[in-house]
């Protein structure tokens, strides 16, 4: 989603700003732009890729010591140049056509909920709007408060904003200053190495190779950046010192290696990612989930919390929600702990019955998903203080907000369609299940040893599943010609069917739906024809015979089946039934393996259809607005 980079320096900062945007491209965007102070304010905007912005600023010889840059993912107003950021304010009665130069330039990530009221009042005062965005309102608002001090103008403006924002602003009359502010959307401060420059960005990755000295701005902070110094005030506008952390961010951008796309690379990285995630796990100990600093130096104690809780509430979105759905089967089946899984954007607004003895588990790859963060805050506001996150970014807002944390080690995931983040989440959730079972006295030593052995086998097992790729390529040739697909699973593999359908939708734009196979005859069977491929996840578990009956129902209606069957499952390829045999039966850990062929199917179908695999239309990697 939108990305921000800003800099106040003593050197030409345009290359750093645009490279920063390139590192934020993975978040998803549909336009981009940069504004610098070069005597006055000047800007370049495009609905094309950041690479084209780079060419444009190079051709136009755009240079400046102070600047802001942005990738926009459209919310208010279409993805056209006049809606792209940075937005200018020329002052009341003036607009782009006037001879007066712009006074304020601004970039924004988030959504301003009271933008209509603010727009009306600013228009009444003579401000001329040239976009449909909520962002332009903030530029004019800052201008309306400007009286020679941009910091003061931003502080006065943010008091009037309702909603979520991370902003960066520069001013014609103060050439060496960038002002930033955040509430509800992420923004970090990068402290330059030699005391001659400072930076703002949406995340540390944007500043990889520029600085590793990072300050995570907190809710309500406003920051004043100048080349050799910075100054932060908190939400009450009182001066505040924030910790500078050393953060090793990797851009990951140069590491495509032999792969065609990041999605393919990330699918094939899963044995490594799972191996890294499990590294150092010698036994099931609650300390695996201890906090990372929230409650003092060593964080909160998982041991105490796991003993205290008697329920689990999982909050997440998208793929992360599906990993939570799979974990429910483990948590109730193995740890015998009642578990509720909620879509974060629903939970945050519905009336629910809170229980303080609940462990609230958020699952998020990015750690910045606005709905999941808001759902967590909502749970806390209801008195549920035991919070744990399964997250892939140790420095993210979510890790800072939760008392306990399990950091998956998927590594940076660039492809918008989540793959290795999903399987590492499942690994973390399985460990959590075992840790809770142990805390409740429901895990014998023998079971602990057996489960750990099975987990350690996962990297090897994943390699053998990845070797099925040629067969998935063959399936993808059929799918590439279809416009609809149905995915079926039962029990623990129903969430895997859901995830398989989501992957196919995201990267191929084929309409795909997933059902618990037992639901077929309650409605979706009406959709089945020879034109509707039906994918079935069919491990050799207790529900296999039931699933086989469901598959017969499909065949009897002329539906063509694509079955992922375990090696020892008696389902064979025949007329209208295509079977790929999984190399082994994986027991409780089967979801981590069965999802991989579905990822490969989506990936190769997308390649066959020629879609933008890593940056599917309309989607963003980091969903930082509601």
Which residues of the chain form contacts with ligand AGP (CB under 6 A)? Answer: 317-320, 364-366, 369, 372, 416-418, 506, 623
Residue carrying the six token digits 């050197």: 11
Shortest distance in whole angstroms from residue 373 CB to ligand AGP: 9
Shortest distance in whole angstroms from residue 485 CB to ligand AGP: 17
Q: Is 92 helix (H, G, I), strand (E, B) or coil?
A: coil
Q: Closest CB to ligand AGP among 320 and 569?
A: 320
CB proximity list for 297: less than 8 A, separation 6 or greater? none
State how far the Cα of 482 lies from the Cα of 64, in Å rounded to an integer.
Answer: 51
Annotated catalytic residue, options 155, 328, 403, 621:
621
Strands 174-183 vs 188-191: parallel, antiparallel or unpaired: unpaired
> Alpha-carbon Rg of the chain, whole angstroms?
26
E strands within 292-371? 311-316, 339-343, 358-364
Q: Closest CB to ligand AGP among 185 and 320?
A: 320
State how far the Cα of 157 lies from the Cα of 138, in Å rounded to an integer.
Answer: 7
Helix (H) or strand (E) holding 189: strand 188-191
Neighbours of 370 (CB within 10 A): 24
Residues linked to residue 6 through DSSP beta bridges, in sequence order: 68, 200
Show the tokens assigned to 209. Answer: 């190779």
Peptide bond preceding 475 in cis form (omega within 30 of 0): no
* Helix locations, 26-105, DSSP H: 50-59
Show the tokens assigned to 337. Answer: 């702990």
How far is Cα of residue 183 from the mean position of the Cα atoms in its chain? 18
Across the chain, how many H-helices and E-strands are there?
Answer: 19, 24
Q: Closest CB to ligand AGP among 506 and 541?
A: 506
State how far the Cα of 520 lies from the Cα of 536, in Å rounded to an integer.
Answer: 12
> For residues 550-572, b (16+ Cβ closer than 10 Å) or e, as one string?
bbeebbebebbbbbbbbeebebe
What is the maximal distance between C-alpha atoms in the chain? 80
Shortest distance in whole angstroms from residue 364 CB to ligand AGP: 3
Give yes or no: 2 in active site. yes
Whether the CA torsion 92, 97, 101, 106 is positive or negative: it is positive
Q: Closest CB to ligand AGP among 389 and 540?
A: 389
Interaxial angle between packed helices 458-466 and 445-456, expressed in degrees from 0 to 180 and rounded to the nearest 10: 40
* Helix locations, 186-269, DSSP H: 262-268
Q: Closest CB to ligand AGP among 83 and 319?
A: 319
DSSP state of 52: H
Phi-psi region of 237 (alpha: psi -120 to 50; beta: other; left: phi over 0): left
State how far the Cα of 57 lies from the Cα of 43, in Å rounded to an integer.
Answer: 9
Q: Closest CB to ligand AGP among 19 and 372?
A: 372
Annotated catalytic residue, options 2, 317, 402, 607:
2
Shortest distance in whole angstroms from residue 323 CB to ligand AGP: 9
Helix (H) or strand (E) holding 122: helix 115-124
Q: Closest CB to ligand AGP among 171 and 416?
A: 416
How far is Cα of residue 239 from the mean position of the Cα atoms in its chain? 32
State how far the Cα of 103 lies from the Cα of 624, in Å rounded to an integer.
Answer: 28
Residue 252 phi, psi dihedral angles, 5° rounding: 70, -10
State how far the Cα of 431 lies from the Cα of 452, in Å rounded to an integer.
Answer: 9
Show the tokens assigned to 525. Answer: 């069977």
Q: Closest CB to ligand AGP among 198 and 365?
A: 365
Q: Closest CB to ligand AGP among 85 and 505?
A: 505
Q: Closest CB to ligand AGP among 133 and 624?
A: 624
Beta carbons of 393 and 366 less than 8 angstroms apart: yes
The residues annotated with a catalytic role in the active site are 2, 621
């Amino acid at each position: 989603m939108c990305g921000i980079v800003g800099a106040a320096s003593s050197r030409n900062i345009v290359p750093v700003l645009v490279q920063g945007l390139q590192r934020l491209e993975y978040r998803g965007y549909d336009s981009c732009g940069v504004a610098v102070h070069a005597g006055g304010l000047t800007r370049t905007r495009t609905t094309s890729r950041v690479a084209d912005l780079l060419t444009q600023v190079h051709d136009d010889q755009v240079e400046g010591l102070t600047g802001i840059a942005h990738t926009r993912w459209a919310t208010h107003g279409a993805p056209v140049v006049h809606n792209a950021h940075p937005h200018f304010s020329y002052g009341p009665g003036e607009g782009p056509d006037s001879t007066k130069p712009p006074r304020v330039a601004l970039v924004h990530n988030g959504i301003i909920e009271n933008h209509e009221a603010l727009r009306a009042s600013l228009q009444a005062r003579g401000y001329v709007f040239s976009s449909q965005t909520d962002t332009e309102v903030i530029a004019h608002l800052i201008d309306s408060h400007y009286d020679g001090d941009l910091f003061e103008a931003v502080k006065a403006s943010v008091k009037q904003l309702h909603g979520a924002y991370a902003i960066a602003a520069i001013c014609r009359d103060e050439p060496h200053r960038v002002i930033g502010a955040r509430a509800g959307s992420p923004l970090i401060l990068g402290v330059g190495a030699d005391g001659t420059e400072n930076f703002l960005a949406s995340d540390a990755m944007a500043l990889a190779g520029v600085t590793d000295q990072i300050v995570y701005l907190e809710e309500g902070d406003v920051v004043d950046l100048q080349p050799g110094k910075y100054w932060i005030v908190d939400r009450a506008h009182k001066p505040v010192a924030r910790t500078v952390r050393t953060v090793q961010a990797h851009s990951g951008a140069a590491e495509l290696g032999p792969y065609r796309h990041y999605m393919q690379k990330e699918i094939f990285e899963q044995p490594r990612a799972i191996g890294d995630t499990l590294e150092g796990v010698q036994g099931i100990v609650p300390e695996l989930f201890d906090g990372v600093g929230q409650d003092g130096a060593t964080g909160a104690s998982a041991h105490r919390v796991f003993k205290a809780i008697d329920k689990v509430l999982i909050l997440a979105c998208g793929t992360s929600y599906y990993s939570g759905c799979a974990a429910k089967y483990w948590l109730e089946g193995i740890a015998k702990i009642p578990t509720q899984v909620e879509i974060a954007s629903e939970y945050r607004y519905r009336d629910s019955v809170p229980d303080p003895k609940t462990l609230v588990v958020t699952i998020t790859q990015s750690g910045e998903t606005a709905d999941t963060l808001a759902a967590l805050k909502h749970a806390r506001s209801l008195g549920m203080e035991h919070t744990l996150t399964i997250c892939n970014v140790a420095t993210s807002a979510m890790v800072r907000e939760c008392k306990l944390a399990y950091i998956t080690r998927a590594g940076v995931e660039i492809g918008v369609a989540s793959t290795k983040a999903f399987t590492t989440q499942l690994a973390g959730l399985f460990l959590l299940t075992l840790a809770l079972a142990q805390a409740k006295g429901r895990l014998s030593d023998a079971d602990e040893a057996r489960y750990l052995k099975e987990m350690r086998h996962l990297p090897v097992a994943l390699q053998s599943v990845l070797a099925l790729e040629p067969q998935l390529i063959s399936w993808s040739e059929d799918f590439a010609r279809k416009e609809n697909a149905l995915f079926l699973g039962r029990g623990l593999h129903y969430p895997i069917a859901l995830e398989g359908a989501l992957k196919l939708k995201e990267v191929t734009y084929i309409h795909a739906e997933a059902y618990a196979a037992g639901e077929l005859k309650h409605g979706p069977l009406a959709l089945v024809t020879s034109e509707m491929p039906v994918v079935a996840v069919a491990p050799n578990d207790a529900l296999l015979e039931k699933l086989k009956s469901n598959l017969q129902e499909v065949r009897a209606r002329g539906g063509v089946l694509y079955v992922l069957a375990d090696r020892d499952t008696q389902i064979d390829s025949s007329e209208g039934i295509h079977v790929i045999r999984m190399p082994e039966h994986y027991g409780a850990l089967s979801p981590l393996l069965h999802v991989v062929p579905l990822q490969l199917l989506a990936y190769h179908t997308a390649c066959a259809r020629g879609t933008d695999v890593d940056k599917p239309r309309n989607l963003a990697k980091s969903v930082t607005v509601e």
